[in-house]
Structure 1
Amino acid sequence: MNFLAPWYLPALATVLTVPPLVLLYFLKLKRQELPISSTLLWKRAVEDLQVNAPFQRLKSNLLLFLQLLLLLLAILAIAEPTWSGPRDWKKSVVLILDQSASMAVEEGARQTRLDLAKEQARQAINDLASNQKAMVIGFSNRARVLQTFTNDKNALHRAVERIEQTDAVGRLTEAMNLAEVYAMPTGEEAATETEVSDAQYIVFTDGRLPDTADITVQRGTMDIVRIGNRRDNVGIVNLDVRRNYEKPELLSVLVRVRNFGYDPASRDISLLVDDQLRSVQAIPLLAPLADRELLTRMPLSGLPPEGNEVSIAFELPLATAARIEVRLSGTDALPIDDRAYAIVPPPRAMNILLVTPGNYYLRRLVPAMPVANCTICSPEEYEEASDDKLIENGRCLYDVVIIDGHSTERLPAGNYLFFAGAPLIEGVRIGPGIEGQPFLDWDETHPVLRHVSVPAINVFSWLDIKLPNQAIPLIEGPEGPVLAVLRQERNQYLICAFGLFDSTRTYLNTDWVLNEGFVVFVYNALRYLAGATSAGQIEPVRPGEPFTVAARPEAASVRILRPDGEYDQATASPTGLATYGRTNKVGIYSIATGIAGEDARAVNLLDEQESFIAPNKDFHIATGSVTATGSLDRSRRPLWPYLLMTFGLVLLLEWIIYNKRVFV
C-alpha cells in the first residue's frame, strides 16, 4: 500500500481530532440538582455521572471505539492510499526481450541488464490472469520465438530462462513483425471472435535500437520497460588493417576509439600479434560525449564526435599470416567493445588476369602496375580454360580478373573489374547502349575515385546496366549507374559500363586513357579489389552474421573452435563451401579446413549505436501507442472510495447504538 498525500496531512488530522474526542469522555457534565422520590429509574444517569467524573480511568465504551474507528477511516482517506496490483493487460500478451550486446552491461550486484529484464519478465508472467495467454520472443539482430501463446506459466518461465546473451546488435523490427503475426487470431479462434482482439506488446530493452523509427503497431499497444542506468563506456568502433601496396611486408593497423560516457576518459591501447604483445600506445584524454542527463535524451546522431573520439595508428613489419588483436586497458560497463580482431593473410604481390580481345592501353598499363604477374588471354581462351587453370581451393587463382568488352557467368570466388561488360548473375541486366549523356553525380570520397577528376572524363557511349539494390553507384548517369561496386557472396565486382574503344574496337570511346586520371583509377581499382584478399585483412563479420569458408572437396563438414571455447560443426556443401551462422560471440573462430587462408575468421562488434549504452528515455516509433517506463509498473488502485464506504457503514452502526442507548 502506498499513500499519495504528504505525510503531514494525516498526521495533522490525527493531532486535531483524536485527542479532543478522547478528552470529551473525561469531561464532567454540569447538571441541575433536583429532589426526587427514588433513584430506581435514574440508574443510567448515575452511571453516566460516574463515567464523566474527571480524571477517572476510562471504562470499555463501544461508542468511543466506534468513533475512534471513524476518525481512523477519515484520516486514512485523507492520506489517499493506493494498492499496487497487476495491470489491466489485454487478453494476449507478448513478452519481447532484448538480448543484444548492450544488454550485457553490469548494473550492480553482478546482474546484467538481461538478468534484470528476465526478472521483470518473470514478474509479468506471475501477474497474468487465468484468462490471459502470453508468448516469449528474444531478439538481437534476428528474432526468435521461444514460446508460442500459452497460459502455462511454467512453460513461459522456462522460455525466459532459455534466452542467452549475445554480442550482436539490436534490431526490433523483425521481433515486432513476428509478434503481430502470432497475435493475429487464426482458424477457429478467428471465427469465434466478433472482432480482431488487440495484443499487449511488452518490450524489455535499454532502448538503444536504431530501427524504432520504422516500427508501426497495427493492433494493440506497446509498453517499453526500460532496463539499465549505467552510462560509462569507451569502445573500439572501427578497425582497419592494410598492407602497404608497394611493400606488402609492412602492415598498418588503424583503430578508432570513442568515449560514450559523461566523464573524461583515458585509456591505453595494446596491439597483439598471435597473442604476443607488440606495441602499446596511450590514448589522449577523451572528452565526454555529453552530460549525464543529455545522454539519455539525445540520439547518437545528435551528439558530435569532436573531442570524444581519436584514431590510433600502428605500423609494423609482418612477413607472415597473423591474427591481430587490439585491446583497450581498464574496465567499463561494456567489455565486448574493448577488443577487436583481424585475420591477416601472408603478404604477396598481386597476380592479375587480363581478359581482352586486344586492348592496347590495358595491355601496356596493367603489367606496369606493382604486380607480381599479369597473365593476358582472350575471352574465348578464358571461357575454354580448364578449372585448374583458374580455381584453387574454391577461389580464383588470380587476385583480380580484369574483363574487357565481355560479359560472362564463369565467375569463381574472387574480384573482378569489368569494362563494357557485366557479370551474368541474378539481378544484373544489360540493356542497349546510351550515347551522348552526361554524368550526373559521383562519389569522389570512395577509394576507387580518390584523386580522380570525374568531370574531366569524356565518354561517347556506355551500356545501360541494371544492378541489384545492394550495388553501390560511384558514377551515375541519367538512366542509372555508369560505375558501381557490387558484392555477392564471395565475389566482388567493380563494373564500368563503358569501354575504352567503341563496339567495333576501331575508335576510342573516351579520351580518359590519354591522361593520368585513368592510370590513377586502375591503380585504385586494383588496390581496392585486392585489399580483402592479398593486401589486407580477411573481411570480418558482425556478430550474428554468417561467414563462408572453402573446404576440401572430400570433407562433409569442418570443425570450428568458437571464442567461448566450445567446438561446433559446419556442413560443407557439394561445391566445397561451408557456411557457419552461430557467430553470436565476438572473437576469432578457428576452422579446421586444412586450407591456407581459410582457417580462421574474425567477428567484431564495431557498432557505435550498440556501444552507446546510456538507456534511452525518449523512445519513439513510427505509428502506434507506446508507453516507456523504468520498470514494469503495477496498476495503482485508489482505496479512499472503499474507506469512505466503510466510514458510512460504521457511522450508521454508531448512530444505531447511540440511539438505542438513549431511548431505552
Structure 2
Amino acid sequence: MYLLNLSLAQFLALFGTVSATLVLLYLLDRSRRRQVVATLRFWVAADQPSVVQRRKRIRQPLSLILQLLSLLLLLLAIAQLRFGTPLETPRDHVLILDTSAWMAASSKSPASLSQGPRTLMDDAHQKALAYVKSTPAADRIMLVRADALATPVTGFESNRRKLAEAIILSRPGSTALNLEQALAFARKSQALDSGRLGEIVYAGPGRISQQQTLLETASQIKNLRLLPVADPVENCGFIRHHQELWRPFQARGSDSGAWRLTRGRAQAHSTSGGRSGDNVRVPHARRRPTRGQPGAPRRPA
C-alpha cells in the first residue's frame, strides 16, 4: 500500500494541519459568548459582569469524528492510495514518430526486396508497432508526430488498437524534423502527468539540421530510447558542366555594320557527376543549332 501523488510525510502534514484547524473552529463555534439583543426584556442586572467560561469537553464528539473522517478520505483520494508495490504501477511512455519529409525516401531494407517498394515511413511504422506490442498492457503511451512541429495524436492511451491505428495513419509531411522541440514536448507531457515516469521513444532516422543542439538535449534525458531506421544515402548531383561555344557571325573587315555568316560548328556538352565519391562523365551528342533555337544563326538586320 502506498500513495501515488504524495509522500507519507506530506500526507501527515496536510492531515495534521487540516485536523487542527477543524478542531479549533469546532471549539470556537460551540463556546459560550455574549449576545446582543434588541430589547431590555432579557436584560438581567448584575453587580459583576458575567465571566465567559470555555467548555473543557467537546459537546458533540461524534460530529467532529465524522468531519475528521471525511477529510481523511478526501486527502486519501487526492493522494491516490494504491495497493501493492510502487514497481507494479503502470508507466507513461511518449512515442515520437518521425513524419518529416525525409520519411518519404525509398527504403533499402531487406523487406523491401521481398515485399515491394517501401519507404522509410513503412520501416518506422513497423518499429513503432513492435514497440507498442512489447510494452506491458497496463502501460500508457502517447503518440506524437514530429516534423517541424510536435503534434500529439493521442493522450496517454492504454488501448493498443487505437495506438496501432494512429501509427498506421501517420504519413510523411513536407517540412524538416525539429527533434529538439519534440523531445522538450515529451518531457513536459510526462512532468504534467501524475503517472509513473516511463520512456521517451523516438522512431526515425534522426535527420536534423546543424542548428539543433541535439547532443546536449539527449544527454539530459536519461529515459530516452531510440528505434533507428536505416537510411543509406546515395546522393547524385552535378559537379561540372562544360559547353563549347561557337560564333555564327563574324565582322566583315573594318565595317562594323557588315556581317558575314560563317559555318556553324556543333556544340558539345558534357556533364560530370554521379554518386558520392564517384566521378562519372556523361557526354551528350553533338548537335548543330537550327533556325529558331537559342544560339541559331539569324539574319542581321
TM-score bracket for this pair, using the shorter chain length? 0.3 to 0.5
Greater strand content: 1
Structure (1 or 2) with the larger CA radius of gyration: 2
Normalization by structure 1: what TM-score?
0.22
Normalization by structure 2: what TM-score?
0.45
Greater helix content: 2
